[in-house]
Amino acid sequence: MSNIAVIGLGAMGKPIARNLVKAGHDVVVWNRSDVPADELVAAGARRAASLAEAMHSPVVFSVLSDDRAVTETFIDSGVLTRTPGGTVHVNLATISTDLARRAAAAHAEHGVGYVAAPVFGRVPVAEAGALNILAAGEPGLIDRVQPLFDVIGSRTWRLGDRPEQANIVKILGNYLIACAIQSLGEAVSLAAGTGVNPGQFVELLTSTLFPGAVYAGYGSAIAEQRYQPAGFTTALGRKDLHLALDAANDHDIRLPTGELLRAVFDQAIADGRGADDWAVIAEQQPR
């Protein structure tokens, strides 16, 4: 039995909190809007009256959307000044490496532990408690929260003692997915243009040369032009692409494919496809 808070109850935060409740943990939840918290209270969680109250839990998981949300919630709000020393904050968000460093420093200044733990896996994977967790931070802190990781994930990958190491791995994973979507879109467009059945083409590729969730899942979405409901939106994909390009720039490394993808994502957003699944960037290919 553990006392843990979950902050941020969006598409990923809700199943993570629900699995912790099901595992018998004492879970406190906080969200800016009430409805997601209502659902989890009905499932057995307790509602925190404020962010500061949630931060009084020994372990805090946060599942927020981007750099801005993390900065506003944990750094600019001053909540860390009111957080008890010894609390461990586990940040599951995909954020920039720069913010990861700033967040680690801000937490350390107030005696609050900080672990970066972004995840690989969509909502159904989160619901099944089978996420891959990319963890970085002080080893002792990761040891402390490992039993909770075992509830929400199938494997924890320990990537280093600096939080930004986990964030760069998540950013690069998403970058490679975007590259795969782009190449799939090009190949499916050419196959369809020559009269090959797109669905059969994707089935052939994913059964032989490119088995795996990325090519199979996104390949079928592209072949069927199926972009709703979105498992991961184009807007979020563009955000993560920019995180990769920014990190590369910081290290004087070029990502030529990333520069191409920037234009593709920008055009998809301009075409009003920001809320569609990011597989929709394949529609930028001529048909």
Active-site residues, by number, are 170
CB 25 within 8 A of CB 169: no
With both helix axes pointing from N to C terminus, report the angle between 213-224 and 198-207 in degrees, rounded to the nearest 10. Answer: 180
Q: Both tokens of residue 134?
A: 């990319």
Taking alpha carbons only, the member of 163, 51, 157, 54 closest to residue 99 is 163
Which tokens go with 117? 């733990």
Indicate the angle between helix axes 163-193 and 234-250, nearest 10 degrees: 120
Query: Are 33 and 45 within 8 A, CB to CB?
Result: no
Q: Residues near 93 by Cβ (< 8 Å), separated by ≥ 6?
A: 8, 62, 63, 64, 65, 66, 69, 70, 118
Identify which of 139, 30, 33 has the alpha carbon closest to the alpha carbon of residue 79. Answer: 30
